[in-house]
Structure 1
C-alpha cells in the first residue's frame, strides 16, 4: 500500500496543522523514495536540489513534528543515525527490517509472525503491548558473495 500526498494533506487537516510548502517538499522526498529509510541528512540532500532555501535545521524540526503527528515513524538501526519512513497505516506492526552489517542496506519484510507471541506475552504478563519492532542483522546477498569471493 502506498500513501498519497492527498492522504497526507488530510492527516494534517485532521490534526489542524498547516501543510506548508516546505513541509510538503520534505514529505515529497519520502514519497519519491518509498524504498529508502531516510535520515535527516538524506532528506536535506534531496530537498535542497528543489528548494535550496530549506536548511538542515528546518528538516530536523519538520521531521520531529512529523514524528509527533505520526506522519513518519522514527527508526533506529543501531548505526548512530535516526532514520524515518512514512507511516502508511494507523495500525502498528506493518513490517520489520533486515539490516546488512557490511553495506548498511535495509530491507523490509511484511511477515508479522509475532502476533501470537505478543498476545501470549500480554496475557501472561498483564501488560498492554501497543507496538513492537523486529530487526534482523546479518549480510545481504551481495555482501555474502563478496565475503565468499
Structure 2
C-alpha cells in the first residue's frame, strides 16, 4: 500500500486549483480509498461503498464526478478488463505505459504484470510503420494458479 507524499498531495491540490477545484475532504477520502486499494482495480460503486464508511454523508454522484475528474487529471486511469465494468487504478508516475494484466476466466482475479514486456516490439512497430506509440494495453486471459490447483 502506498500513500501520497506531501509533495504529491501539494501537486494534486495545485492541479485541482488550476482547474478551479479544491481538494475537499470528500475528494481526499476518495483518493485515499483508491490508494489504500491499489491493485484491486475498483469500480466507482466499490469506491463509493468503501468511502461511505469514512464519509457517510457522501453521495454516489460526488464519487462519480470525482472519479471522472481524477481520470481527466491523470491521477487514475480507466481499465477495461472485459467484464463490463469500468475499473480504475492509480497512474504511476514512474511508468511510461500502463502495465499488463492477467485475468482469470474462472474466479475473475486480476494479477498485475510488473515491467513492460513489449519494449522491443514497440520499437520495431515504431520503426517499421513510422508510428509514434504513446501507450498500449495488454490483457492475458486464462486460469490462475489457485483455480488450476482446485480443479
Q: TM-score surpassing 0.5?
A: yes
Give the superposed CA RMSD.
1.8
Q: Which runs of structure 2 are paired with 1:1-149 in the superposition (5 Å)?
A: 2-15=2-15, 16=18, 17-89=21-93, 91-93=95-97, 95-146=99-150, 148=151
Q: 1:7 to 1:31 in 2, by over 3 A?
A: farther
Query: Structure 2 length normalisation: TM-score?
Result: 0.88
Q: 1:107 to 1:9 in 2, by over 3 A?
A: same
CA distance in 1 between counterparts of 2:87 and 2:4 reads: 20
Which runs of no fewer than 5 residues in structure 1 stay unpaired?
none
Q: 4-13 or 41-50, which moves further after superposition?
A: 4-13
Runs of 4+ in structure 1 off by over 6 angstroms are: none
Contact 2:41-2:87 at 8 Å conserved across structures: yes
Residues 73-123 of structure 1: CA deviation (Å, up to 9, x unaligned): 110000000000111216432521111111111111113120111011011
CA distance in 1 between counterparts of 2:89 and 2:99 reads: 12
Which runs of no fewer than 5 residues in structure 2 stay unpaired?
none
CA distance in 2 between counterparts of 1:70 and 1:11 reads: 12
Q: 29-38 or 6-15, which moves further after superposition?
A: 6-15
Q: 1:90 to 1:67 in 2, by over 3 A?
A: farther
How far does residue 65 in structure 1 lie from its aligned partner after superposition?
A: 0.5
Q: May I ask how many residue pairs the two structures share in their alignment?
A: 147
Contact 1:96-1:135 at 8 Å conserved across structures: yes
